[in-house]
Structure 1
Amino acid sequence: MGENTIKMVNEARWADGQRVRNRLDDITYDPMRSQEEFVMRLMRENDKSDYGRKYGFEHIRNLDDFKKSLPLTTYDDYAPYISRIMNGERNVLTAYLTENISCLPDGKVIPQSRWGVQVCYDYGFCAGFYIAANYGYLTEGKTLNLLSSRVERRSSGLTVGNLLGRLLVKREFDNERVYAIPLDVADASDKEEILHLQALYALSQRDISLAICKKYENLLKLLRYIEKTWPRLTEEIESGSNVVEANAVRANAIREIMEDHHIGTQLLTSLWPGLRCVMVYDVDQLSASFELLRTYCGSSVHFIFMGITSSLGIFSTAINLDDPQTVLIPDGMFYEFKPKNAPIGQGRNLLTLDQLEIGRSYELVITTLSGFYRYQTQKTFLVVGRYHDTPTVLIDKD
């Protein structure tokens, strides 16, 4: 594939990212305006859903009405509704079309509406592309994709799979053009085979400029696997296989790099000289192993911590390079907060984002575009600053 084609796709990513960043810059100056507009639009457009009829959405005129009319909820409150959605019913929790279903290991099933998925794509992908492009890191190189893209697409257009995987395949016409690793690698039979195929596809290509991974450990595991198995990998690249074309020049270049390499030292930019940026989603799990990954990457590689996410959606989004604090998204969901360790009661005295104090921790309650209303997430955020007039947060680990 020609560099011009990849450049065109990355320029489209940059344009999408610019649009999202412009919107974020605008709404973060007056976040409560966007928050109230979000709730009022949600009530208006979903008042004919079963949930909307039950709780009188048509009579809700302001945020006080909203808090008085809707109870706090947990997953068990939604289980009967979700069963109906899985059976193909419409207008159950929301009037919006369901686009994706996430099935979690604990048995929970989380529906995401089309608008919910779009918000996640905007702030979970496009916002990162903007930052990468703004620093000159979204270039002619391919993207090293280490997100699981295992999703089942049904004839109705509904997908079943993890939310990040759904976002990865959202722009289907881009997939084969920009990703270094084919998306069907996620369908391999076991984790060891997936890791081998990821390493083989990645090593066979030199021109990679961006990496995307759910956890930074995904990239660390890939580099350590390459350290252990590079002789086998280079043999496959040299001779070719049903996976990669034969490329003796690339195989010899890898051998020279690995023969001089010392375990646990800088490696990333030796293998891929143009790779200068990594988008990662688990901002709440930085540990000592992250410092090891920094050693493998070297000082010229930068990280975009893409925000706090779950199967429910994206709670915050990246604003700066190499900065783990992320900003709440005023038009992405409605936020309510309970001070940590305070009684929650009926939820009428929960705080809105304009009432948060820097340095304090709060338990998060959300209302989403996918039919979760005043949902207790069991997540606790530490407020660390502000971007314009909107709080920036980290996960509270204590």
Structure 2
Amino acid sequence: MVMKRHRRHKPPPPPPPPPPPYIHRSTTMPEAPKNSRDQSSTTMATMDYSLTEKNKKSLQFIEDVTSNPDDVQLRILSDILTQNADVEYLHRHGFSGQTDRETFKKLIPVVTYEDLQPDITRIANGDKSPILSSHPISEFLTSSGTSGGERKLMPTIEAELERRSLLYSLLMPVMNQFVPGLDKGKGMYFLFVKSEAKTPGGLLARPVLTSYYKSNHFKERPYDPYTNYTSPNEAILCPDSYQSMYSQMLCGLCLNQQVLRVGAVFASGFIRAIRFLEKHWSILCEDLRTGTVNPVITDPVVREAVLRILKPDPEMADFVANECSKQSWQGIITRLWPNTKYVDVIVTGTMSQYIPTLDYYSNGLPLVCTMYASSECYFGVNLNPLCKPNEVSYTLIPTMAYFEFLPVNGDQEQQLIDLSDNVALSIDSDKTDEVELHQAIEKASSHLVPFDATLIEYTSFADTTTIPGHYVIFWELNQNGSAQIPPSVFEDCCFAIEESLNSVYRQGRASDKSIGPLEIRIVENGTFDKLMDYAISLGASINQYKTPRCVKFAPIIELLSSKVVASYLSPKCPKWVPGHKQWNKNNVDDQ
């Protein structure tokens, strides 16, 4: 697959999302460290295997490929163009076997996802001709980004798993330089699979991490002390999010003395795990005490896997119960898992809102962001993983893909562009922008018309203090009529907003349970005038003031909350079914 996408420039400066490169590395390139997957874990555990030597090779690989990145990139591009010389996309743009950068930049346009959507739809519908890649498309990876309210579909090939696995193999050798001895214990990571669907052509469409966890690269990974987790594969792969969370937490508590690092993919996911413990610690303690698994875990494969780890331990049960029953949960991570060195989660971008909560629960343990990745491509690693969250930067591994960048003139001041500025609300992997929010609210407010009421103003914020977090919308109304508006009408408004939001949000609500019910809070009349007065008192221009559609500043949220006269929650989950709504035309899942 060969294409160019919009060039992006933002801090920390990641590259634009390129297509999967679909190449095999040339033998003249620096050789990547190898993980032999054809040996059993038992064999690997008994081998005379030098972790120090393996770490050294991984670090040397990073050094080699980043020392002359332009040479590596030229080879990557040449390999991509050579192996895909006969694909339709290249021929369409006038390619006839050229492999040089100049011709590539001249002939291949910068495109958006929407430009490629017709080709992607053809593949999804079963067209097996070499449209974007000479290699067979093995599946689609579904992005958290959306197009027309639906997840974007990224075609990928089997070889891409090797590339992603390579990047994973570099993380711990880097980390070991800063926190040695991590091979002496386990990692407690809360990892989950999400729903998947099949396209009309029969290809799987699923999130990139679900694809990885279900692959043999993960399930049959060779013994490695760096991928020694407290959670058994069976618990991670359980499609029931409650059973998966319960089982992973139970195993993590059982093995607490062996835990040296904790984490999840996103900060929101890890906090959700800690709050799950807050809610369910008493029944978890009963399982620890008796060495049994609560009947709520009905998956027999998961039960069997957990029982292989669990043993009756009244002393551990008493310890956990004593810590969890204390009034304050500050430092609960270091109290229950006392040997923990750091928390491994993504806390950049919209996840930065969770940093204070993580600091509270962890007693200020380092928050580590190890890698930069997306559904389109894995990019690079953080070579200074113990840096502060606001100082995180990533070193691109130039064998991952062919990258392009905006040119920077060193003599002129350049303005960094933050492409996430249009994201108004986010709890987990969802991203709702102002336009989408406005359209949803406009549609929902039509429920007020029969009561002669209109929406004067609104704003919103992502409330992460609840379990799980949820969207809160502040509404100020003008009620011309005397009729009282029933609570059910406002609940219908909440539900209408949720039904109008994108599929990533609806999946988080209905399937993943990572987002709570949307809430509308009605504020007293004049509240938004007071909000404007407050903004002006801080220096805003009265002539240029516009009501913010999303607020994050605590004093503003406090001001709005102090004026609330009623609040309502969405009464049920919005409709969501795996797949894309257009697939329904082919008798596939209807969204």
Shift in Å at residue 359 of structure 1? 6.9
Range with bigger deviation, 14-23 or 112-121 = 14-23
Shift in Å at residue 165 of structure 1? 3.1
Deviations 1:232-276 (A, max 9, x none): 2101222212454342233233224334x4434112132223332
Are 1:304 and 1:318, in contact at CA under 8 Å, matched by a contact in 2?
no
Are 1:163 and 1:311, in contact at CA under 8 Å, matched by a contact in 2?
yes
Aligned match of 2:188 in 118, 131, 144? 144
Amino acid at match of 1:174: R
Work out the CA distance in 2 between the residues paired with 1:327 and 1:269: 31
Aligned to 2:370: 306
Q: Secondary structure at the match of 2:357?
A: helix
Structure 1 359/258 Cα, relative in aligned 2: closer, same or farther at 3 Å? farther
Aligned to 1:233: 284
Amino acid at match of 1:122: L
1:315-394 matched pairs, under 5 angstroms: 315-323=379-387, 324-338=392-406, 351=407, 360-361=415-416
If asked which structure has higher relative contact order (CA below 8 Å, sep 6+), I would say: 1
Shift in Å at residue 41 of structure 1? 1.4
Shift in Å at residue 103 of structure 1? 2.9
Are 2:261 and 2:341, in contact at CA under 8 Å, matched by a contact in 1?
yes
Aligned match of 1:38 in 55, 76, 88? 76
Aligned to 2:229: 179
Shift in Å at residue 293 of structure 1? 0.8
Aligned match of 1:167 in 186, 209, 212? 212
Shift in Å at residue 184 of structure 1? 4.0
Work out the CA distance in 1 between the residues paired with 2:248 and 2:411: 43
Q: Cα RMSD between the aligned structures?
A: 3.8
Q: Which runs of 5+ in 2 are unaligned?
A: 1-40, 145-149, 294-302, 420-591
Are 2:370 and 2:385, in contact at CA under 8 Å, matched by a contact in 1?
no
Aligned match of 1:253 in 296, 316, 319? 319
Aligned to 2:171: 128
Q: Secondary structure at the match of 1:101?
A: strand
Deviations 1:182-231 (A, max 9, x none): 34445656544443333223222222233342101222221222233211
- Aligned pair count? 343
Deviations 1:28-74 (A, max 9, x none): 23222222222111111110222233234444342221111111112
Are 2:82 and 2:97, in contact at CA under 8 Å, matched by a contact in 1?
no
Aligned to 1:290: 355
Amino acid at match of 2:320: I
Work out the CA distance in 1 between the residues paired with 2:98 and 2:229: 46
Q: TM-score, normalised by structure 1?
A: 0.72
Work out the CA distance in 2 between the residues paired with 1:91 and 1:18: 40
Deviations 1:285-332 (A, max 9, x none): 343421321232234x43431333221112332111223211223222
Work out the CA distance in 1 between the residues paired with 2:249 and 2:143: 27
Shift in Å at residue 358 of structure 1? 9.3
Work out the CA distance in 2 between the residues paired with 1:104 and 1:150: 12
Q: TM-score, normalised by structure 2?
A: 0.51
Range with bigger deviation, 41-50 or 209-218 = 209-218
Amino acid at match of 1:306: T
Work out the CA distance in 2 between the residues paired with 1:294 and 1:52: 50
Work out the CA distance in 1 between the residues paired with 2:242 and 2:56: 38
Structure 1 116/361 Cα, relative in aligned 2: closer, same or farther at 3 Å? farther
Structure 1 164/212 Cα, relative in aligned 2: closer, same or farther at 3 Å? farther
Amino acid at match of 2:334: T
Shift in Å at residue 337 of structure 1? 2.9
